[in-house]
């Protein structure tokens, strides 16, 4: 997606000190990998063979661009080489344009340096530098294809996913048949005369998700994968976060893919080889999944949901299974890059703990503080990991060529620490040395809100002494929020005052703020907001954030979540529980089988699932929980919930006998 936008503390920490020896954040090995990637190439050039037909077992023909290294005479080399596959829905034509543009000699590197030299920090466009930084962090080369990687001795195959680009068929959006296609493409590659039997995968976003799927569906068939901003549980990630419809991302994204899939192969029209079956397939389904989204938003009762829409919100259906990846089955060495503000952070933060079939040397995770299209924007700079394309080359060299370059000794967990963005490293995520603590919501004013809010309360380790009721009305202030920027894949992060300071969105929030931290305290893991609440309707939709508030009043969101009350049932097999029974990682089933509307006026407790974080409170910083009754544009309630809630105000019931709290994993207790 980035190319479409761009072209058209705890124990066990490793300090982030550039220049350190071995495989630390950057270090001597990072410098070596960079020199290897950017240095002289083994082969002179490369050749692109466009629209190679690849026939699937059901007769559908996918088309891919095959890129191979060439000798001094411009002929593809005869040597059998490892092959890296990229399955994309954004058309390989865009991929090729991005790669060739980004690697144009002299001009483009100078242009990138010029764009990055423009410093808009401190202005209302202060997010500009993060967006432009994605051009130099290696993300584009891993989205498309990297000529330097190819000329070092790799074949590259970029294939249009079924129903997109120039491939036949109808787009399935990770359906069962599409997942089978990826495995069949890998098998096809291994049968070709130019492949040596070692196959890896590459790509960003959609092309990262199908890497995890292929590695899970066909264990042992892939030699290495390098997914950037991948998802493994797409329902929880973006389709129905907390039971809402993730329209903030889905609507523009579906428009993007459905629009680009209609672009015809002009060359084939000119030379008389136009694929009329391609045209017939596009006519059959020009607006894939738009009908599903509209039905999900407008249907008034659960019984009114039909077909694919019903399958998406019912656990155990084939459609739900195809959108989930069992990462415990993956035996392929996996190096993933995610982000705390990415669309798929729900999945990404769980990758290390989910890759149970891999040793530490074969599973790596970097969590940046960027968004979907800005992931790794500062990689390669001082204090950051090496560029994404540099890390990818080192990973493929290790596992597809057997080169002992030390990439297996890179830290399993490399984590940007919010709100500063400084990196820490450790053996896993959450980092060791953190204990769970309840911070209770109280009606007592904290006196810390210098800007308008719906209500000011306190947060502390003590159970509240008095009862109180706090009213939360739905509002639109979350348009200017980190959640809003996340759902827009980071495009709106250009306006940094929304993404990095929650004081505008807090206009509609009940806020609960702690006393200042007296010593440096880190948070590592997934908070959970345990909320005692009441509705005057049959349903409601809660949104919560956990923030770090600096002494100057800036409120930075470090964790966020939402939940429809009627879909509050938890998946007991996947949800985490503490020794005292507290929910410490809430994972709802989000299924119509568990649909339970409430009685108006009924008081009950819910556990709001939140995103994970690695955060630090310095002395003087405060912890804050914001509670909202709406979260537009990221998500709006599923149709039945929207009609049942009538968007009425919702109420937080503060009761000493049944308190509300946020459960946070901290390195030392907070007051």
Question: Is the pLDDT reported for residue 63 higher than 50?
Answer: yes
Instruction: Say whether pLDDT at 407 is over 70.
Output: yes
* Cα–Cα dist 137/379, whole Å: 5
Which pLDDT tens digit goes with each residue over 424-461?
A: 999 999 999 999 999 999 999 999 999 999 999 999 99
Residue 138, pLDDT score: 78
Pairing of strands 528-535, 650-654: antiparallel
Q: Which residues contact 568 (CB under 8 A, 6 or more apart)?
A: 588, 596, 606, 607
Query: What is the spatial distance between Cα 79 and Cα 186, in angstroms, rounded to a whole number?
Result: 19
Mean pLDDT of 274-292: 96
Bridge partner list, 70: 45, 76
pLDDT higher than threshold 60 for residue 506: yes
Question: Is the confidence at residue 121, as pLDDT, over 90?
Answer: no
At 583, is the pLDDT very low, low, confident or very high (cuts 50, 70, 90)?
very high
The pLDDT score that the predictor gives to residue 373 is 86
Does the pLDDT at position 317 exceed 60? yes
Weakest mean pLDDT among 60-74, 92-106, 202-216, 220-234: 92-106
Give mean pLDDT, residues 67-75. Answer: 96
> Which stretch of 18-22, 255-259, 633-637 has the lowest confidence by average pLDDT?
18-22
419 upstream amide cis, omega within 30 of 0: yes
Residue 395, C-beta contacts closer than 8 angstroms, at least 6 positions apart: 224, 226, 333, 335, 364, 407
Q: Looking at residue 143, what is its pLDDT?
A: 85
Q: Is residue 243 a contact partner of residue 637, using CB atoms and an 8 Å limit?
A: yes
Higher pLDDT pick, 5 / 555: 555
DSSP assignments along 387-411, one per residue: PHHHHHHHHHHHHHH----SGGGS-
Calculate mean pLDDT across residues 281-303.
95
Residue-range domain boundaries for the chain: 20-426, 435-666
What is the tens place of the pLDDT at every residue in 320-348? 999 999 999 999 999 999 999 999 999 99
Q: What values do phi and psi take at 403, rounded to 5?
A: -85, 125
pLDDT, position 377: 85
Domain 20-426 class, CATH top level: alpha beta
pLDDT band at 5 (very low <50, low <70, confident <90, very high): very low
Q: Can you give the pLDDT at residue 13?
A: 39
Give the mean pLDDT of the chain.
91
Instruction: Supply the pLDDT for residue 588.
Output: 96
Question: Rounded to an integer, what distance in angstroms lies between the CA atom of residue 190 and that of residue 480?
Answer: 49
- How far is the CA of 501 from the CAs of 143, 163, 204, 255, 557, in angstroms? 30, 41, 28, 30, 8
Which residue would you say has higher pLDDT here, 170 or 132? 170
> Is pLDDT of 170 > 70?
yes
* CA 484/CA 474 separation, integer angstroms: 15
pLDDT at position 625 is 98
pLDDT value for 23: 65
Q: Which of 408, 401, 428 is nearest to 22 (CA)?
A: 408
Considering the domain 435-666, what is its CATH architecture? Sandwich (2.60)
Structure confidence at residue 126 (pLDDT): 60
Q: Does residue 18 carry a pLDDT above 60?
A: no
Rounded Cα gap, residues 24 and 169, in angstroms: 46
Tens digits of per-residue pLDDT, 177-209? 999 999 999 999 999 999 999 999 999 999 999
Is the pLDDT at 135 greater than 90, yes or no? no
With a cut of 50, say whether residue 136 has pLDDT above it: yes
| Phi, psi dihedral angles at 67 (to 5 degrees) | -115, 120
In DSSP terms, which residues pair with 615 in a beta bridge?
418, 523
Q: How many CA atoms lie within 13 A of 129 on its CB side?
A: 12
Max Cα–Cα distance, the chain, nearest Å: 83
Which tens digit of pLDDT belongs to each residue from 345-384?
A: 999 999 999 999 999 999 999 999 989 988 888 899 889 9
- Given a cut of 70, whether residue 93 has pLDDT beyond it is yes
Cβ neighbours of residue 255 under 8 Å, at least 6 residues apart? Answer: none
């Amino acid at each position: 997606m980035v190319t479409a936008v761009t072209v058209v503390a705890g124990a066990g920490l490793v300090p982030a000190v550039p220049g350190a020896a071995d495989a630390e954040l950057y270090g001597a090995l990072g410098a070596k990998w960079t020199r290897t990637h950017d240095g002289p190439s083994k082969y002179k050039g490369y050749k692109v063979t466009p629209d190679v037909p690849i026939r699937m077992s059901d007769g559908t023909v996918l088309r891919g661009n095959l890129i191979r290294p060439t000798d001094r005479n411009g002929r593809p080399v005869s040597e059998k080489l490892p092959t890296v596959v990229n399955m994309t829905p954004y058309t390989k034509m865009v991929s090729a344009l991005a790669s060739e543009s980004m690697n144009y000699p002299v001009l483009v590197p100078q242009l990138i340096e010029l764009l990055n030299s423009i410093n808009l920090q401190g202005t209302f466009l202060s997010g500009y530098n993060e967006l432009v930084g994605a051009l130099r962090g290696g993300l584009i080369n891993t989205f498309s294809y990297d000529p330097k990687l190819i000329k070092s001795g790799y074949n590259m195959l970029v294939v249009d996913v079924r129903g997109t680009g120039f491939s036949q068929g109808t787009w399935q959006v990770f359906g069962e048949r599409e997942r089978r296609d990826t495995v069949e493409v890998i098998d096809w590659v291994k049968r070709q005369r130019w492949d040596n039997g070692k196959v890896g995968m590459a790509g960003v976003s959609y092309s990262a998700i199908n890497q995890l799927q292929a590695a899970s569906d066909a264990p042992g068939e892939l030699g290495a994968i390098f997914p950037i901003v991948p998802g493994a549980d797409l329902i929880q990630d973006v389709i129905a976060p907390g039971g809402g419809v993730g329209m903030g991302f889905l609507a523009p994204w579906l428009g993007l893919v459905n629009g680009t899939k209609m672009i015809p192969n002009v060359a084939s029209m000119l030379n008389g080889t136009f694929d009329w079956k391609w045209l017939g397939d596009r006519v059959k389904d020009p607006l894939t999944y738009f009908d599903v989204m509209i039905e999900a938003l407008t249907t008034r009762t659960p019984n009114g949901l039909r077909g694919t829409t019903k399958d998406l919100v019912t656990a155990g259906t084939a459609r739900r299974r195809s959108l989930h990846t069992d990462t415990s089955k993956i035996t392929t060495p996996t190096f993933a890059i995610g982000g705390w503000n990415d669309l798929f952070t729900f999945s990404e933060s769980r990758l290390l703990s989910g890759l149970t079939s891999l040793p530490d040397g074969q599973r790596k995770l970097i969590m940046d503080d960027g968004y979907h299209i800005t992931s790794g924007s500062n990689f390669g700079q001082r204090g950051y990991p090496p560029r994404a394309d540099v890390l990818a080359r080192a990973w493929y060299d290790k596992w597809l060529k057997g080169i002992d370059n030390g990439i297996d000794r890179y830290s399993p967990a490399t984590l940007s620490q919010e709100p500063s963005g400084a990196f820490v490293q450790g053996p896993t995520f959450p980092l060791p040395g953190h204990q769970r603590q309840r911070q209770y919501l109280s009606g007592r004013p904290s006196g810390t809100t210098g800007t308008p809010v719906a209500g000011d309360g306190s947060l502390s380790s003590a159970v509240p002494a008095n009862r109180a009721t706090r009213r939360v009305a739905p509002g639109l202030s979350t348009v200017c929020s980190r959640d809003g920027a996340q759902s827009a894949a980071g495009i709106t992060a250009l306006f940094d005052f929304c993404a990095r300071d929650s004081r505008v969105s807090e206009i509609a929030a009940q806020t609960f703020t702690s006393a200042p931290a007296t010593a440096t305290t880190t948070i590592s893991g997934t908070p959970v907001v345990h909320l005692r609440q009441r509705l005057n309707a049959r349903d409601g939709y809660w949104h919560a954030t956990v923030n770090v508030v600096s002494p100057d009043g800036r409120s930075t969101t470090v964790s966020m979540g939402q939940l429809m009350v009627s879909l509050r049932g938890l998946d007991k097999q996947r949800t985490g529980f503490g020794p005292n029974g507290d929910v410490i990682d809430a994972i709802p089933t989000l299924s119509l089988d568990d649909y339970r509307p409430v009685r108006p006026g009924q008081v009950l407790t819910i556990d709001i699932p939140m995103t994970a974080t690695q955060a630090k409170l310095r002395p003087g910083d405060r912890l804050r929980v914001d509670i909202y009754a709406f979260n537009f544009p990221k998500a709006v309630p599923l149709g039945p919930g929207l009609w049942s809630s009538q968007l009425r105000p919702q109420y937080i019931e503060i009761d000493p006998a049944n308190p509300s709290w946020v459960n946070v994993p901290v390195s030392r207790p907070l007051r």
